[in-house]
Every structure is written in structure tokens, then in C-alpha cells.
Structure 1
Amino acid sequence: MLDAMSQESRFERTLSFLMRSFETVLIELGEADVAALLPWRSLWGGPGATEPDWPAEPSQRLLQACSIAFQFLNQAEENAVAQRRRRAEAQGMLAADAGSWDQHFARLAEAGRSPAEIARALGRLSVEPVLTAHPTEAKRQTVLEHHRALYRIIVELENDMWTEAERGAFEAGARACIEKLWRTGEIFIEKPTVADERRNILHYLTEVFPDTLPWIDNRLRAAWRRAGFEPALIGDALPRLSFGDWVGGDRDGHPFVDVATTRETLTVFRARALELQRRGLVEMAGALSLSGRLQPTPARLADWLAARVAALGEAGAAALRRNPVEPWRQAVNLMIAALPPAEGPPPPGAYRRAAELGADLALLRASLLDVGARRLAEQVLDPAARRVQVFGFHLAALDIRQNSAFHDRALGQMLAAVGEPDGHDYPGWSPARRHAVMARELGTPRPCVTPGRPIGEEADRTVGVLRVFAEHIRDRGTDGLGALIVSMTRTAEDLFAVFLLAREAGLLGYDDSAEGAGAPWCPLPVVPLLETIEDLENGTAILDRFLDEPIVRRSLRLQAVAAGHEEPVQQVMIGYSDSGKDGGFLASIWTLYRAQSAMAELGRRKGVRIRFFHGRGGTIGRGAGPTHRFLRALPPGTVRGGLRTTEQGETISQKFANRVTAAHQLELLLAGVLGATLEERKDPERLVRAMDGLAAAGRRAYEGLVQAEGFLAFFDRATPIDAIEQNRIGSRPSRRSGKRSLGDLRAIPWVFAWNQSRFGLPGWFGLGTAFADLQAREPEIFAALVRAKTEAHRWPPLHYLVSNAATAWAGASPEIMARYAALVEDEAIRARFLGVVLEEHARTGAMLAALYGGPVAETRPAIQQMIDRRNQALTPLHGRQIDLLRRWRGLRDGGRTGEAEALLPEILLSVNAVASGLGSTG
């Protein structure tokens, strides 16, 4: 029976189907030589099949075939996991499924939490994934669409209901998808534009997440019932899920995101959101065909119909005439007529904000209950109301992010324009002088400069985009607008600067209450982004000064009133990528942990809830890791029902490519936040102190490597960083200002380059030295950490850190590292740095074995199996990439630019193929 299949056999069946289909397509297209070299033939090629030997110089077509095959491998694994979860649910075994609602409900009940407590916490949850377009998605949008279509066919073929002919049609469709993939170029010929990236984000916001939303809610309610909790307790108290977006708003080092881009993004998102809501209302109107002759029209509905028709005028009268004896359908017709335009102010009678439509839907629901139509209310109206709650008239909240140094230059230009002595030198002023000028300026409502007058490039761009937000608020309120994020926040003055810039744009409001006396406030969150180790360590002091400022306290109070929060909320973004690049994996994880604990405690003392925004990347070196483990490992008391987190690059397509996977990933996020909010944990003090020492030792080891003389020369040659910087996979440049320095290089290409050459260094380096040092100095503490890693005494922060490092370490390959290091011409530099890395890799392996109670390959066999499977095809790919890099660099360094440029597409194809095999880029 199909349901009795093990996960591994299901994986093999799916992979066999895909690879045999691929082989068929290739042969039919005259590519039999490529078909004969497809990988994993021992799994799908039939009895006695062996792995083929690659030629010395594999063709571009073979590289492309390998890249596609890796995607098939990923899809087969994804489908096997999804089907396993379905079987577990059918068999009532989801309580054992890591991170599921069932598991969290069971844990909370066991810990003594009552169903009523859990229900109250559920209703207060607020979770917001924020989609970004960092250049880590190596596949073109067209290629992604073909893969999505193929995966839908894979899922359909899991159903036993199809006849032989129907299955044949699906299989033919799969071969058509595969042919499209083969005939479509794998690499970006030109860099994608912001509009291209926005189009990709819109796919998820309009096609995936709206269809997934009912699944998420149904899975929650089903798990609630399975836990034995009273269904009435949960009622309408569903977690608040919303989405954020950086595409079109993130301008940190991004020259192509200008004022027009941001305005266009807001308009496009609004138009698509209104289209989504209109489509849902039209569908609902068709379903609510209740006749007024068969059940009386409730008075509340009759009154509402009359009032809405009067407000809409002729448009309302026309909507009413369409269904004269069907009052509920008439009501929905009026709601459709009241939807506002995507551009310009709403006309009389139209909705201004989505909450107004939500309120009308609530009244319509009550009127259905008045006539006993509860089933229709739950099955027809509730999904539409939920869609309005989640997506509104905006789809996702657009953040603006800008670098503090850019703001400094903007303020310098403004101050110089009004005659401030040495205003242009503002970036070099002392914090005290900066603050004095800001306090003086914010004490008056008048702007520094006459609106419309040019000031300077940075000032005009910054004030211009904030003015777009001010116009939006005037016409539509704050819906659709996110946070004003200051990257590389170093001091509180970096944050105060935003208030002054917002005043110039007309973005500030003025408190008209008796206690406010017209004092200024900002209707949008001003958010520090703490990215480096030093900034994270200083974060509490920065936040302390910031929260003491009157304009900040006033803004938080009025923002809380507008949002209906019980207490002021200050958002703080913490960066995993740059802190890892800055101080290494171990120091980054633990400094983030300590910083969150300290800032959350500061917030409690000041009566402000700190809502953390986790800027996690897609790889372990940039903060990635299993969602459920990540959330369990957060410091106690730092979640409190609310969390934002970035979803970047290829992780978006990996997590949300289809409804089944998307529902599971969002369940992990929502259930994990519930668990982190209600589960009580006290960190053992001596383990915390031990982690302090480990982080410091890990940082010393990491800095000893990356700050050593000659290291950049090693990095530039032992990794394909120069080829990656030529890759056209994102609209943002790889370097912040174009300097050839480690500090200027973004974390994404940094991690991308190390992963391609199989060093994986940002995900594990320093851990071995740190633990070996602890074992030698304090063996008892080391033994306590070993115990804290075991199942019986598992301490979530340690488990998350070690398991992530173990995965990254296992994916690194000393043999392949050495082959890439051979590209370093300077023998002394090559030997020195390769020796350090290999020694640390061996040392880390020994420490991980001590922590796990055996070699990583034996104690984590499932992970090792996935790595070994990929290595079968990756090893020859790496060899080809190394040969291409050697030739390309020789041509380029020898001045033969044309020949080097001609070779570049094949190198980029090898980069894509390796990224597909690893399942990640940067």
C-alpha cells in the first residue's frame, strides 16, 4: 500500500520518476550523451546500475542537466517529508512531529498550562514574516514557475484515485515541464530589476499565502480538537499573521531603489490587494444566495443596507438592484462597490481602510447567526474575513531601510542649507552636539528647508521617500507602511536623526490631546538594526537613551493607542549575517542571545515591550536553522507573543513554493512563537557563563584567521568570490561602496563564496578551538555541557548552536577545500591558511563527537545521507568549476578580456549547479 511506504522509499520512487522522465526527454531531444551521465543512477536506473564517470571536460549542457537534477532531488525529498507528515496526521501521531501545533499543545498541557491560558495567548500572537530580495536566489523567475508546476504534478500523482489514462496525462505534463526547464536558460543574462524581484514576491503574496491561509487555520483548529481542548475556547481568537516586504523599500546600499520605486511598490501592492479582496467578495456573493422570502432580513442588516446605499449614492443603488430578494448577496455587492481605488483618495462612501470592510463583514456574520446560518458564517464568510484581516488593502507592510551613514550625510546637507556652522561636517560631530541640534530642531514644527527646494542628493532621496509615506498616511492611514529601519545603528543619535528627517517630509504628527499640547510624534516605528558584535553589545545602552527621549515615549504611546496594544511596543532588529561575518558563528549566536536578554529586561523596567525583528539569512553562517529549534532556543521572556523575521532569497522558494510546504512552515513559525511565549525556562547560570567563555574563545580563533596578513589574498583565490560578484542574481551590488575590503563586502557573497568552495567556514569555524579550550581548562563545565546536549537534559540554546554547527561542519569537505586552495598561487599563503582551516575542521569534528557521543556521520545518519547523496554529483561539479576558474583568471589576468568574458557564462552555470546541489547560496 502507498500509505505504508517509508519516507526513504517514497523519496526513491519520486526521484526515479523524475530522473527517468528527464532521461526520456533528453534522449528524445538528441541529448543521449548527457542522459547517460545523469547522477544517482544507482537509485533510479534499475538493478545493477552504477554511477557514470564524467569526462575530463564536461559540457555546459551537462552542467545544466546537473543543476536541474539537483532540483529534482530537492523536490523528491520535500515530497517525501510532506507525505510523511500527512501520514502522521492521519495516524494521530503529530504530537511527535517537531514544532507542530500538536507537539506544542502537548508540551504546554504537560507543563500545567490550561486550555483557557493557551487560547488567550493564541489570540494575542502577532507573527510577521518579512520577504526580502537579497541576491541569494540563483534561479530565474521563469525557472521557478516551471519547478512549481512540476511539483504540483508530483503531488497529484500521490493520489490513488487516478485512472491509468489520467496518470499518463500527468506524467506527460511532467515531461513537458522538464522540457521547458531544459530549453530555458539557467542563468541570469542581465541583473534582475527591482520590478522583477517585486513580481516574484507578489507571486507568494497573491497566489500562495491566500490559498494557504485556510489550511493554516484548519490545521490549528484540528490540532486543538486532537489535544482534547474545548473548541469554543478558541472561537475567533486566531493568531494574527501578517506579512512584510523589503522589495522597493530597502535602500541600504541599493542605488536602484528610489522615491519612484517606493511609490510604485505601494501602488502595485495596493492594486493587487484590492484585486484579491474583490475576488474573494465576488466568490462570497455567489455563495450567500439566501432568499429574503425564506428567512426574515435581520434588522441590523436592513439598517446597514440602507445606510450603505445612501453613502454610496448611485453606485450603491446599482449594487442593490442586482439581487432584489437576496439581502445577504446585496450586502456583499455593496461591499464590492465600496472598495477604494488603488490610486488617489477614496471617493465618498468608499472604504478608507480595510478595518472598515472587516467591521462590515463582522456585522454580516452576526446577521447570518441571527437566522441560524452558522455553518455558512464559518465556511463562507470567515475565510473572506480572515483574508481581509491578513492582507487588508496592502498585501504586506513595506519597510524603509537606510544606512546610518547615509542619514548622516543627509542631515549634514540640511544643516548646511540653513547656515549651521560646519553643517556639512555633521558626520564628524560629537554625539552631544548632534543631540543638542536635534533637540533644538525638534522643538519647533517648522522644517529646516522650504519643501521642494533641492538640498543635496542624500537629503533629497531620504526626505523624498518619507514624503511618499506621509502622503500615504494622509490618504489611507498607516496600513501598508512598516518600520523606518536604520541599519548600522551605532548610537541613539542615529535613531533621533529619523525624527528630524521625518519632520522635513511632513511625516510627523502632533499630539492634540490635553497632555500632548501639540508635541510632535512619529506614527511609524523607528527601529535600530544592530548588526555587528560591537553594536549588539552596545544595544542596551543605545536603547536606554532612545527610550528616555520624550518624542520616542510619546510616539510609542500613540502608536500603541492606534494599534490597540495594551502597552507600548518598541521594535528592535538584530542582524545575524553581519555579526557572523564580524565575529564568527559562535560569537554571533551568543552575542545575539545576550543582547536580546538585556534589551528585553530593559524594556520591562521601562514599561515597553521589545518586539524583536530577526534578520536571519538562508544559510547557517547567516543565522538560518530549523525554525522550531530556533524559536525554542530564544532567550526566556524575549518573545512575548510577537515576532518579525526575514525570509530571504532562495529560502522563500524553498519554504513557500507550494501550499503544503507553506502551510507547514507557517505552522512552525506560529506554533513556535506560542511555545516561546508560554514555555517557561530558566537558563543554568554556570552554563551561561560557560557560553560567555566559549563565545570569546571562538571569536579570538575566528579573528585570528580573518585578520591575519594575507588572508584576503587567500579568500580571493581559494573561493569563487570574483565569479560570484559577476553573477547577475540580484539587483543589489555585492559591496556596499565598491571597495575591495572585507568590511565592505556584504555578508551574502561572503557566505556564498565559502559555501561554493565547500569550506562552509562561516557556519562552524572557531567552535572546535572554543570547546577544546574549555575541556582543557574546566573539564567539569565541559562535562555539564555534554549533559546539556543529551535528550534528557537538553538545553535549547546549546542544542541549536551545536546542531547547526554540526550540519555546517558535515557539509564542509577537506578534500574539496584543498582543491580550491590549489588556486592560490602564493605557496606560503596557501599552506598557512589551508593548514589553519584543516586543523580547525579536525578539531571541531573531535569536539562535536564528544558532544554527540560519537562521530557526527554516525550520530546524525539522516543528515549524512543527504550530504553523501549530493556529494556523488557535486564532486565532479567542483572539479569542473575549479578548472574553469583557473582558465578564466589566467585569461583575465593576462589581459585577454574578450576570451575571459566568453568563458564567464559557463562559470556562472557551474555556480548555479553547485548552489542547487548545496540547496543554498549565501
Structure 2
Amino acid sequence: MQGNQIETATAPLRDDIRFLGGILGDTIRDHEGAAIFDLIEAVRVEAFKVRRSEVDRSAVADMLREVDIHTAIPVIRAFSHFLLLANLAEDLQRDRRRAVHVAAGEPPQDSSLAATYRKLDAAGLDGDAAADLLTDALVSPVITAHPTETRRRTIFDVQGRITELMRQRQRYNRFEPEFAELEVDIRRQVLQLWRAALIRLARLRIQDEIEVGLRYYDLTLFDVIPRINDQVRAALRERWPGHELLSRPILRPGSWIGGDRDGNPFVTAEVVHRATHRAGAVAFDRYLKSLVELEKTLSQSARLVPVTPELAAIADAGYDDSPQRADEPYRRAIRGIRARLSATACRSLGEIPADGIDVGAEPYAGPEGLLADLAVVDASMRASGDGLLADDRLAGLRAAVQTFGFHLQGLDMRQNSESHEQVVAELFAWAGVHSDYASLDEPARVELLSAELTTRRPLIGPTARLSELAAKELAVVRSAKTALDDLGPDTVPNYIISMCTSVSDMLEAALLLKEAGILDPGDADTPPSSPVGVVPLFETIDDLRHGAEILSAALEVPAYHRLVAARGMQQEVMLGYSDSNKDGGYLAANWALYRAELNLVDAARKTGIRLRLFHGRGGTVGRGGGRSYDAILAQPAGAVRGSLRLTEQGEVISTKYAESGTAFRNLEALVAGTLESTLLDVEGLGAEAEPAYEILDELAESARVAYAKLVHETPGFVDYFRASTPIAEVADLNLGSRPASRKPTNSVYDLRAIPWVMAWSQSRVMLPGWYGTGSAFEQWIGDDPARLATLSDLYRRWPFFQTVLSNLAQVMAKADMDIAARYADLVPDKALRDNVFGMICDEFSRTVRMHAAITGTDELLADNPALAESIHNRFPYLEPLNQLQVELLRRRRAGDTSELVERGILLTMNGLATALRNSG
């Protein structure tokens, strides 16, 4: 686009931002007073002058240095609310631009399913090959808890209402009366937003995190996921008829909230029960509400409409003897289904939901029974010519039950291998199997575990006296067994082993599943079975290098191989983006992950397993973030065989899934990327792959060395990190249910990845998303223009390298070394401050320079104009939040631990996270 075209295209966005900002300003002036409003406005004006380089950065800092905390709080809230409204305006702009694109008749854009179908059609794929590659296809976004996503449901609800009112406003011109009426309604909502607290004051409990995760189902997921599943199934079966593709819905969501106990002492058996059964309750509530609506609408009279014998049998089952419905078989059938579903909910949850009825009906054995009855209703309606009615609410309910079952979402369990080792050692000692399991070497451990996995004999009985750790761990796994019994085999699909470094780590988890009654070892005549898969998580760079070896060795253990064979040779492996990045830096971590995938794909081919990769991505680039569609296409060939699981975390969740249109686009992008990576050659390197891999081997090692020199080898670096970022406040202020560190140490290795990345994001250094990369490029290229040309060529042709550099540019565009310098001033040791911050600034400049050389453009965001516009619009409003955060951190560390100062710090964290939209 030319400059004037960009101005025209972005004018509606600027208008929306000015309109909403003006309303917010009026609200603040009316309810906080002119003095507060004038200060906010003066700070805003100075912040824009800073962006235009008209004044020094200290101008804003000077205005806020001595501000009274009672004044600081509304200032923080004002800029946080504005950024929240700016997010809303940007989402509306994306919808607007998409509508213009479609209206102009332009080809569908990449990451849309329409574009993917065109690519599949052009490729002329064989139906048999497509059917094989899409066997057991699964795309599963897995929602996880996040400490900065502390907004209350009230805020989400108001945001949703403002969004809808702004959409309505677009339909009128300003001379119509409705236009003015909508402005009044929007003002009313903004006032409600201002009067509501942005965040909870109380510590976020894990029970709260469970509810936060579940809120997205009613907001969007209940409607959007089944719709995409139906559309994709229909599109693929139309292209390859006769293959019955996607017999199960491809999109099936998951969760970690309430099942991830790695370093979280608050995940107990009771929490697992709550997480699984609350999810089930959400599903049952939705289905029963839908059945109530169907009862109201399916009023066909038997005097006018014939029904099938199967429908009549359901209607005449005796659950509705109302004379007023004697000639309304569909209503009586739906009431009978509702009665049986109510009884099922009572059996599974211990109570009948609000829209249930208690008439002594027989429960369904599982969702298949409910689907069978709904299929009878559907068939009868179509037989009588009422297919148009069947395609409405009934079709939506059937699609939802097919997708969500009675469990709603699969809850993964996760624990670290060290805990497993301690518990297994204790069980063996109690049972008299071995008195000192921890002393055994790896072959002896594998031998002992393998023997136990071939017998159904439990190791302990109900009277066993166990340590607190062992008792808790067994209780958690047994609670998972109860959930599986109550809600079905998809309720807990995976048991993930953090820091998995050996075969015994995998077998220990399997043994705990057996002890809880989840894994049945089988016998000579019966194969083993387990609804829960054992999933190794390879996290550090060293573990990623050896992941394929560990998996291959595990499959050589007969007991484990039999279990995998009984599960259709399906084996999932999780790849950890966070600890690998914290361990070796951005480029080294990304390449270690790519290499690990190549090795795992090769191991899968040799062992005959169907490999499914689970990507533990965070919101930030430093934790594997970035555009999901691009990330999927950047996977090596064979890594995505119809299946993809990935974590969704933090502000990214609300950004993607709080609104239906946005949720649809983000989920279709996941499916589109998975289909393209599965069915098309997207790597594009061909015979030149190995030379490219060797180049990245060298670059990654150089980047790791540069990163380690700062993070792991510079004396005092951890002290610098703790003083120059709000990491201590992340821990002290209890932002989430999970502690900030795995252990009470002063080591980077023991810090949790989310606080590590979040702290660097808040201070605007963004170090995990770029550090070491510039040095690696500079060292490899040297003075050789041919080497620079080689990297530029890889950038043009290789999706992986493109994505690495694109994500690098995104995070560097959000970094700000001038703001970071304010945080560096919090470090009391001047020599340490000058040394570490000097290294950071030098590497930042080097990385920007090398990015420009390789890509051929000085614009960091040349390939992402939407983000460039977003940064232009919103970043002046980050300035006051960062400056106030530094000021309040200074006060707190000087001894002012008042509630308002702590609240102010928490509000700045939330505001910055809202603005950056991917902070942890």
C-alpha cells in the first residue's frame, strides 16, 4: 500500500480509537474530577511528544515521580482501560478489513480454510493418501492458567457489549437517530467499565483459574468449534467422497487448569475432581438448555406430520404424559431425552442441573446413547420433509455432543519426573519390591518397572502408611480415575512427564496409572489398556537432543510397546518451548525443537508409531509464541500428520477466544495450518535441506554461547534480573496459583518460564525473544557477502527461517531500550548495572542490524503492517504504565508495602499485559 492508501484504510480504526478514548476521558472527568483528568491528559500529551522525539523520555517520568498513590491508581486505570478499548477497536478493524477484502472478490487469505481448500484442490491429492494421513486427525488447543490474566468476568462481559454496540454503530450514519442512541449506550457501558474493578484483590485461587478457563465455552467455543468441525468434515468429504474422513471431530479442546501439578502444590485430588466435574457440568448445562429450547420449537403435530416408529418409541417411553402434548411427539421425545440426560448428569455429577428434570429416567451409558436418540429425531424430521428445521438447533446440539461429549474438554495431568521417582521408590519400599529404588542405575530401574507393568497386582493397599507427597500423588491419579469413570474415557487423555530424561521416567508414570486402576496391564489373552497416554515432555536443549533416543528405547521395552500397540500405535510427545529458551536462548531453542522434531519423525518411521506432537507454546515469542498458522507451516516434513496439540496461555486466550468472530478465525487458522502441513509439502527445501540444517546447527550453537555468556556466565546476572524487573513482585504479590519458582533457589534454571518471560516483557527488554541471535548471525556471516546471500535466500524460501525472523522482529518491535534503562536504574550496583545493561543494549543493536541485512529491510514489521499500526496507536499509552511501574517498584523496595502501592504494581502489570497482548 502507498502512504495515502494506508491512511485511508486505517482511518476507521483511528476514528474508533478517538471516539472510545473521548468517551473514556469524559467518564473520568465526570467521576474522578478535573484535576485527575487534567493530569491524565497532560501525561498523554507528553507521551505522544516522547514518541515523536519532541521531548526527552524523562518528561513523563518527572510528571509521575512524586505522584500521590491515590492519584496514581486512577492514572494507571485510565491508561489500562484505554489500551483495553484500543484492543477492541483493533479487533473491529480486522473484521472491517476482512469484509472489504471479501466484498472486493479477492482470493481468500492465507490461514483461512477457504484458502487451504484452494491449495488442496490445486495439488490434486489422492483420496487414499489423504485418508491415511488424516487418520485420528486432531487439532487441540489446550487452555492453561496464566498469572497476568486476572481480569474478572464482569470486564469480559462489558467488553463484549461494547464490541457489539460498536458493530451496530457502523451500520448507521451520524445523522440517523439510532447513531446517537448507540453513543449513549456505549457511554453507559464505558461508565460501567470504569466503575468495575479490573482485577481481583484476593489471591487468584486455582478454583478461580478453573472458572476463568471455562468461561470461554459460553462466550464462543460452544458455538464456534462444532461449526468448524462440521464445515471441515463436509469440505473434505466433498473432495474425497467414499473415505468417511474425520469420523471424529478434528477440533477437540483441552485444558491443563487443575491437572498441571508440576511445581503447583495447590493441585490436589479435590482440585482434579473440581476441574473435571465442573467442565462436565458446563457441558450438561449447555445440552439441557438446548433441549429446553428444542421442546419449545419442535411443536409439530402428529395430526399433520408423520413420525418414524423409532421416534414414536422415544416419545412413548413414559417420561411425558401431559395431555396437552398428546399429539406432539417431538416435544414428548425431546422431554424424554432431557429426562435421561438429567439422570445421566445426576449420576456423573451428583446433582441435577437447573434445566434438568427428575422423573426416574434411565441414564445414558455415554454420549453415544444421547447422540443415537438425537439421530432418531433428526432422521424422523428429514423423513417428513422437515430437514430445514433439523438443520437449526438440533444440528447444533448434535455437533456439540459429538465434539464435547460429557467431559467438555480433556484435562491433562502433568507432574515432574523427580516427584514420580520419589513416589515410586516409596511404593516399592512399602511393598517390599526394592528397598532403595533411587540407588538403581537406569537398566535396573527399567527391568524392575517392566516387571511390575506386566502384573495386575497393586503395590499397596488402603492401609499403607505413605509420606505426604506419595499420598497426595496417588490421590490425584485416583481422582483422575473417578473422573474417567464418571465422565468418559476422553476426560483425562494424557499423563505428561515434565523434565523427562529417561525411559524409566516414562515407565514410572505408567506404574502410577496402573496403581490407580487406570492402566490395565492385561494378560496372556488380553492386551493392556489405558484411556490415558504416557507423554514424555522434552524441555531443555539437551533433553530435546536425546528425545528420539529415549522414545525409541521406551518402545523397545515389551511392556510399554504392548501398551502403545493397544492404543493403535499412537504416541504423543510434548515439546517444551519455555525451558529450552530459558536454557539456551531464542535461536538455539527454536532450532533444538526443529531438530528434535526431525529426529522424532525419523524414530516414528522406524518404530511404526503414529506420532502426535504437543507444542508447549506460550503467548510470547520467548515461549514459542507468534502467529499459530505460520508456526504450524514452519514444522519439518512429517511432524504434523493430521494431529496437533498446542497450549494457549495468558492474554492470548482472551485475545483469541473472547469473541466469536475472532475465535472462529483463530481456530480455523489452526485447522488450516494442520491440513496444509499434513497434506502439502510446505518446507520447500527439497534436496537442499541438509546443507540448510547444517547452517542452522552452527548458528544455533553460536547463539547459545552468546546467550550463555550473559545469562549463565556473567557474575551477578541473576541479581541484575531480580532488581531490574518485577520478578520479585510477581512472586510476592501472588498473581497466580502457581509459585514463581519450582524451588526456593536463586538459579535461573529453577525459575518458572512464565514469570521469567513476563518479567522481561514488563520491563520491555523482551530478552528471551531475541538475545544471542544477532551475535550468531554476525559471527557466521563475518565479512563474506556470499554467506549473507545464503541466509537471505533461506529467509525467502524456508518457512521455518522466515518464522524465526518474523517472530524475532515482532518481539524486538515491542522492546524499548530507553524504557528498559529506567528499569536498569533500579539495580543498586552501578558496575553490575552498566555491565549487564551494556551487553543487552549492544546485542539489541546488533540483532536489529543483522535482521535488516538478512531481510533486506530496515522495517522490523515490514511483513506485519497490522502489528506496526497497532504499535503506532497504542505504545504511547504504555509509557505512563511503565514509568509508574518503575516508580512504584522503587517505593515498594524502599519499604512502602502499603496495599495501594502493591495494588498499583499489580494494575500496571495487568495493563501492560493487556497492551502487549502476549506477555508471558
The two structures have a TM-score, normalised by structure 2, of: 0.90
1:392 and 1:6 map into 2 onto residues whose CA distance is: 48
Matches within 5 A, 1:605-616: 605-616=606-617
> Residue 808 of structure 2 is aligned with which of 805, 810, 823?
805
> Residue 217 of structure 2 is aligned with which of 181, 205, 213?
205
**CA apart distance, 1:271:** 1.8
Aligned position for 2:582: 581
* Fraction of identical pairs, as percent: 35
**CA apart distance, 1:145:** 3.2
**CA apart distance, 1:813:** 1.7
> Residue 338 of structure 1 is aligned with which of 340, 343, 352?
340
Q: What is the letter of the counterpart of residue 109 of structure 1?
A: D
> Residue 821 of structure 2 is aligned with which of 818, 841, 846?
818
Q: Secondary structure at the match of 2:647?
A: strand
2:322 and 2:798 map into 1 onto residues whose CA distance is: 62
1:66 to 2:74 alignment: no
1:266 and 1:74 map into 2 onto residues whose CA distance is: 32
Q: Secondary structure at the match of 2:493?
A: strand
Aligned position for 1:598: 599
CA 421–382 in structure 1, closer or farther in 2 if over 3 Å, else same: closer
8 Å contact 2:718–2:746 — kept in the other structure? no
Aligned position for 1:903: 901
8 Å contact 1:138–1:921 — kept in the other structure? no
CA 469–60 in structure 1, closer or farther in 2 if over 3 Å, else same: closer
Aligned position for 1:29: 31
1:888 to 2:888 alignment: no
Map Cα deviations across residues 300-332 of structure 1 (whole Å, 9 max, x no partner). 4345656xx2xxxxxx44368663323333332
1:571 and 1:405 map into 2 onto residues whose CA distance is: 21
1:670 and 1:422 map into 2 onto residues whose CA distance is: 50
1:459 to 2:462 alignment: no
1:539 and 1:775 map into 2 onto residues whose CA distance is: 31
CA 508–864 in structure 1, closer or farther in 2 if over 3 Å, else same: closer
1:613 and 1:837 map into 2 onto residues whose CA distance is: 32
Judge which range, 875-884 or 22-31, deviates more.
875-884
Stretches of structure 1 lacking an aligned partner (at least 5 in a row): 310-315, 561-567, 892-897
Q: Secondary structure at the match of 1:614?
A: strand
**CA apart distance, 1:463:** 1.3
**CA apart distance, 1:644:** 1.1
> Residue 840 of structure 1 is aligned with which of 838, 843, 854?
843
8 Å contact 2:21–2:82 — kept in the other structure? yes
Map Cα deviations across residues 417-438 of structure 1 (whole Å, 9 max, x no partner). 2245543xx3453212222221
Aligned position for 2:144: 132
Matches within 5 A, 1:90-109: 90-95=103-108, 97-109=109-121
Matches within 5 A, 1:193-232: 193-213=205-225, 216=228
**CA apart distance, 1:125:** 3.5
8 Å contact 2:454–2:559 — kept in the other structure? no
2:725 and 2:192 map into 1 onto residues whose CA distance is: 32
> Residue 764 of structure 1 is aligned with which of 766, 770, 777?
770
**CA apart distance, 1:556:** 2.7
2:554 and 2:20 map into 1 onto residues whose CA distance is: 56
Aligned position for 2:22: 20
> Residue 9 of structure 1 is aligned with which of 4, 8, 11?
11
Aligned position for 1:440: 451
8 Å contact 2:571–2:611 — kept in the other structure? yes
Judge which range, 459-468 or 114-123, deviates more.
114-123
1:548 to 2:548 alignment: no
Aligned position for 2:911: 913
CA 831–648 in structure 1, closer or farther in 2 if over 3 Å, else same: same
Aligned position for 1:313: none
1:720 to 2:726 alignment: yes
Judge which range, 335-344 or 269-278, deviates more.
335-344
Aligned position for 1:386: 399
Aligned position for 1:638: 639
Judge which range, 113-122 or 125-134, deviates more.
113-122
Map Cα deviations across residues 483-534 of structure 1 (whole Å, 9 max, x no partner). 111111111111101222222222222547xxx4246443311111111111
**CA apart distance, 1:265:** 2.1
Matches within 5 A, 1:351-390: 351-390=364-403
Aligned position for 2:352: none
Aligned position for 1:285: 295
1:243 to 2:244 alignment: no
1:188 and 1:305 map into 2 onto residues whose CA distance is: 49
**CA apart distance, 1:797:** 0.3
Q: Secondary structure at the match of 2:732?
A: coil
CA 222–605 in structure 1, closer or farther in 2 if over 3 Å, else same: closer
Map Cα deviations across residues 873-906 of structure 1 (whole Å, 9 max, x no partner). 2234333322332332233xxxxxx656663322
Q: What is the letter of the counterpart of residue 698 of structure 1?
A: A
Aligned position for 2:500: 489
Across the aligned residues of Structure 1 and Structure 2, the Cα RMSD in angstroms comes to: 3.2
Tell me the matched-pair count. 885
Aligned position for 2:672: 671
2:182 and 2:883 map into 1 onto residues whose CA distance is: 37
Q: What is the letter of the counterpart of residue 552 of structure 2?
A: D
2:423 and 2:131 map into 1 onto residues whose CA distance is: 48
8 Å contact 1:138–1:650 — kept in the other structure? no
8 Å contact 2:222–2:400 — kept in the other structure? yes
8 Å contact 1:34–1:65 — kept in the other structure? no
Map Cα deviations across residues 532-554 of structure 1 (whole Å, 9 max, x no partner). 11111111011112222333333
CA 727–397 in structure 1, closer or farther in 2 if over 3 Å, else same: same
Aligned position for 1:274: 284
CA 475–238 in structure 1, closer or farther in 2 if over 3 Å, else same: closer
CA 555–442 in structure 1, closer or farther in 2 if over 3 Å, else same: closer
> Residue 699 of structure 1 is aligned with which of 701, 704, 708?
704
Q: What is the letter of the counterpart of residue 465 of structure 2?
A: P
CA 665–7 in structure 1, closer or farther in 2 if over 3 Å, else same: farther
2:214 and 2:389 map into 1 onto residues whose CA distance is: 30
1:94 and 1:551 map into 2 onto residues whose CA distance is: 52
CA 840–330 in structure 1, closer or farther in 2 if over 3 Å, else same: same
Matches within 5 A, 1:144-163: 144-160=156-172
The two structures have a TM-score, normalised by structure 1, of: 0.89
Map Cα deviations across residues 237-256 of structure 1 (whole Å, 9 max, x no partner). 78522111111111111111
**CA apart distance, 1:872:** 1.8
